[in-house]
Chain A
Amino acid sequence: MKYIIAVIQPDRLDEVLKNLEEKEIHLVTVSNVVGRGRQKGIAEVYRGHKEQGSLLKKVKLEIAVNKAFVEPAVKAVIDGARTGQIGDGKIFVIDLPECIRIRTGEKGNMAIG
């Protein structure tokens, strides 16, 4: 099992979710986050005071999948999130040792689906 974390542009979320749905990947958690990358943010100015170290608003997706679904999931995110502009985001894939469905107590591959 793998745990995929994707940080994307907020306006690309709907597209990414649609792509994941088409690949029958339903298990996804979405949160609003702020962060920064190599691209510079737009510094806010309040009554002439420039904010330092501005962070940009992004959306973070967390997707747990069985091994067979890693490639389709990554492709779904890239297809949906890619604009070709700087700031499109990142995908991190990490090993997932365990997954438990709270309602039934099922574990591992069964629980993820």
Chain B
Amino acid sequence: MRLTLAIAVVVLLAAGTAFSETQQLVAGSLTSQNSTIDTGDTAWVLISAALVMLMTPGLAFFYGGLVRRKNMLSILMQCFMALCIISIQWVVCGYSLSFGPDQRGIIGGLDWTFLNGVGMTPNATYTATVPHEVFMMFQMMFAVITPALIIGAFAERMKFSAFVIFILLWATIVYDPITHWLWGDGGFLKNMGALDFAGGAVVHINAGMTALAAALVLGKRQGYPNGISPPHNLPFAALGAGLLWFGWFGFNAGSALKASGLAGNAFTVTHIAGATAGIVWSVLDWLRFKKPTTLGMITGAVAGLAAVTPASGYITPVGAMWIGVGAGVFPWLVVTCLKTKLGYDDSLDAFGVHGIGGIWGVLATGLWATKAINPDGADGLFYGNPLQLWVQAKAVLFTVIYSFVMGYVLLKFVDVVIKLRVTEHEERVGLDLTQHREAAYTIID
């Protein structure tokens, strides 16, 4: 089994080398047409790619702080391994499936596998002023963090081997097509006019819905809800939330793909929505549970940042406040009230925060979007175009259904093949020791 795997990797790499040699010539002639690199735009997208990359380690600490001591490393390991694996998957086929030449609006072709033709000159379809390779790297970081977000739903009980196989399949079969639908040239939701500036549907709804499927397929952790110890390190969670917030400027403002006024506005509205939702969540905690909590505040901020993501290229600062209010209210309701009533164990609320926040954000884009901010966008309901809300709803519907169903099927498939869940004993001892033979913290010096 292991030998076959090794051979498969070698063959794949060899194929890639042969491939790229034949295609290099074609790429050279294709990209020499009149596209000029803008240094400001390129610098900004490069920096944004690095900012978005930092979000995955940030997420590792956000999630890591919320689990028990015995599972800290398993979270860090899963996040960092997602960074490694999905990066390579992106190079091999992910980028091509997402952004490559359109196949019936559903998926990209295999023309750009192993980054054939993805070079140092711009591809005018996506970015006329930024090297194609830079755009590819920027998008790679989105592909990395999206499966990492799902970890929140199956934390503390999934086998590492199952995790590795699952995210690889999920990135290829779920993430890449959905990315093509909304962002790929010719994608059917994009052609329908659906607005998703930086990934409310592609990233947050997508991760959130598969997260819900994961919570259902894997079942509850032992002892859930009352026998689970509280988060082991909230300062880490706050640090992680801070890194996420910081990285989000690259995520949203970088999605302008230019160092432009639109990028500046995306930067502004991103911050406003995060701040508003942080306040709203705290106030709700204060009213309902007597005290404003640190965890609630940072959770609210993350929900606000997730919700503004699809809207960030189309809304005014006031629109961002309203989206922030909704992002404080709806995820709060699901996380603090609905989850306990329904009894599913979305351990770190990947569905509650990203799924619900994302759905709200994509719908809210259909309410507050305005051409005054982005002439290439559309007007929303509050700017006289109720039809946009319907288009956004369709985008939500397609993403929700595809992500949930395919996520569910893939998890069941991996479960049948190698079992998803660790044994009861391993779960009790903790994943750090049983999956990685390590401990996050020593007790004795």
A45-B289, A46-B231, A47-B335 known; A52 vs B295 contact (CB < 8 Å): no
Cα–Cα, bound, A44→B285 (Å)? 13
Q: Provide the A40-71 mask, 1 if CB < 8 A to any CB of B, else 0.
A: 00001111110110000000000000000000
Cα–Cα, bound, A15→B349 (Å)? 44
Cα–Cα, bound, A46→B285 (Å)? 10
- The distance from the CB of B335 to the nearest CB of chain A, in whole angstroms, is 5
B23: Cβ under 8 A from any A Cβ: no
B388: Cβ under 8 A from any A Cβ: no
A45-B289, A45-B293, A46-B295 known; A51 vs B337 contact (CB < 8 Å): no
Indicate if the CB atoms of B340 and A48 lie closer than 8 Å: yes
Indicate if the CB atoms of A52 and B226 lie closer than 8 Å: yes
Indicate if the CB atoms of B295 and A47 lie closer than 8 Å: yes
Indicate if the CB atoms of A47 and B225 lie closer than 8 Å: no
Indicate if the CB atoms of A46 and B225 lie closer than 8 Å: no
Among residues of B, the one whose C-beta sits closest to the C-beta of A44 is B230
Task: For B335, list chain A residues within 8 Å (CB).
Answer: 47-48
Contact of B340 among A44, A45, A49, A51 (CB under 8 A): A49
B336: Cβ under 8 A from any A Cβ: yes
Task: For A51, list chain B residues within 8 Å (CB).
Answer: 230
> Which residues of B from 256 to 282 have beta carbons under 8 Å from A?
none
Cα–Cα, bound, A93→B333 (Å)? 52
> Which residues of B from 239 to 261 have beta carbons under 8 Å from A?
none
- The distance from the CB of A57 to the nearest CB of chain B, in whole angstroms, is 13
Q: Provide the A62-92 mask, 1 if CB < 8 A to any CB of B, else 0.
A: 0000000000000000000000000000000
B96: Cβ under 8 A from any A Cβ: no
Cα–Cα, bound, A46→B299 (Å)? 11
B371: Cβ under 8 A from any A Cβ: no
Q: Provide the B103-141 mask, 1 if CB < 8 A to any CB of A, else 0.
A: 000000000000000000000000000000000000000
Cα–Cα, bound, A46→B68 (Å)? 13
- The distance from the CB of A39 to the nearest CB of chain B, in whole angstroms, is 19
Task: For A46, list chain B residues within 8 Å (CB).
Answer: 230-231, 293, 295
10 A-B pairs with least C-beta separation: A48-B336, A52-B226, A45-B289, A47-B335, A46-B230, A51-B230, A46-B295, A44-B230, A47-B336, A47-B295
Q: Can you name 29 A-B pairs with beta carbons within 8 Å?
A: A44-B230, A45-B285, A45-B289, A45-B291, A45-B293, A46-B230, A46-B231, A46-B293, A46-B295, A47-B293, A47-B295, A47-B296, A47-B299, A47-B335, A47-B336, A47-B349, A48-B285, A48-B288, A48-B289, A48-B335, A48-B336, A48-B337, A48-B340, A49-B225, A49-B336, A49-B340, A51-B230, A52-B226, A52-B227
